[in-house]
Amino acid sequence: MSHAVTAADLRNAVRNVPDFPKPGIQFKDITPVLADARLFAGAIDLMTDGYAPGSVDVVVGIDARGFIFAAAAAQKLKCGFVPVRKAGKLPYQTIEQSYDLEYGSNTVAMHVDAVKPGARVLLLDDLLATGGTSAAALALLQKLGANVLEARFLIELKFLDGRANLPGVPVHSLIAY
């Protein structure tokens, strides 16, 4: 009999790739989790734990790996999925938010009508690092008047203290480094 998937099982499956995409970065490769039916389903179960269908209006996922988890979570919670994309990708009218990187900046975008005011939103991404990306996503959601219930991540790099950039929203992760 196979036991329920635990966060430890997921941690064991995440592959550490040193020096990708540049020297000094330890890339957390989640593709082994996705490739395993049991682990992928277990990751979605854990990422939606505590939420039942009807309790969330939309799951919002962040470009690009966040889409994979958010779309599957939305199916499980029988609710909608909304993408936060890198700027320049969405076809209709957008709102945009820039954030600083170590060198330069990034911009994320959402369609202006993607989330209705008051909508109950679960924000998902694969990994919380500095929190810059999810803080920008959160700013867009707040601009649209969303009720962000929680931000959840498969992985959190605790030493970067990304959650400090997400004040006022409960933050949870399954695997911490």
Encoded one letter per residue, x for contact with ligand AMP by CB under 6 A and - for no contact, window 137-176 reads -------------------------x--------------
Half-sphere exposure (Cβ direction) of 98: Cα atoms closer than 13 Å: 6
Cα distances from 157 to residues 61, 103, 129, 161, in angstroms, run: 19, 20, 5, 7
Question: CA nearest 65: which of 129, 154, 144?
Answer: 154
Other CB atoms within a 10 A radius of the CB of residue 1 amount to 2
Residue pair 59/70 in contact (Cβ under 8 Å)? The answer is: yes
Contact status: 128 vs ligand AMP (CB under 6 A):
yes
**Which of these ranges, 22-30, 49-57, 79-87, 144-152, lies near ligand AMP under the rule CB under 6 A?**
22-30
How far is Cα of residue 101 from the mean position of the Cα atoms in its chain? 18
**Which of these ranges, 40-48, 83-91, 122-130, 166-174, lies near ligand AMP under the rule CB under 6 A?**
122-130
When binding is defined by CB under 6 A, the residue of 70, 132, 152, 173 that contacts ligand AMP is 132
When binding is defined by CB under 6 A, the residue of 13, 56, 127, 144 that contacts ligand AMP is 127
Q: Is 65 a catalytic residue?
A: yes
DSSP H stretches of helix in the chain? 7-13, 31-35, 37-47, 65-76, 132-143
| C-alpha radius of gyration, the chain, whole number | 16
Task: Tell me how far, at minimum, the Cβ of 41 lies from ligand AMP, in Å.
Answer: 21
Given the residues 65, 85, 152, 163, select the one marked as catalytic.
65
**Which of these ranges, 43-51, 76-84, 109-117, 120-128, lies near ligand AMP under the rule CB under 6 A?**
120-128
- Where in 59-78 is the site for ligand AMP (CB under 6 A)? 62, 65
Contact status: 26 vs ligand AMP (CB under 6 A):
yes
The label of the residue with tokens 């957008």 reads 94
User: 152 pairs with which residues across the strands?
Assistant: 124, 172
Residues annotated as part of the active site: 65, 102
Using CB under 6 A, list all residues that contact ligand AMP. 25-28, 62, 65, 125-133, 162
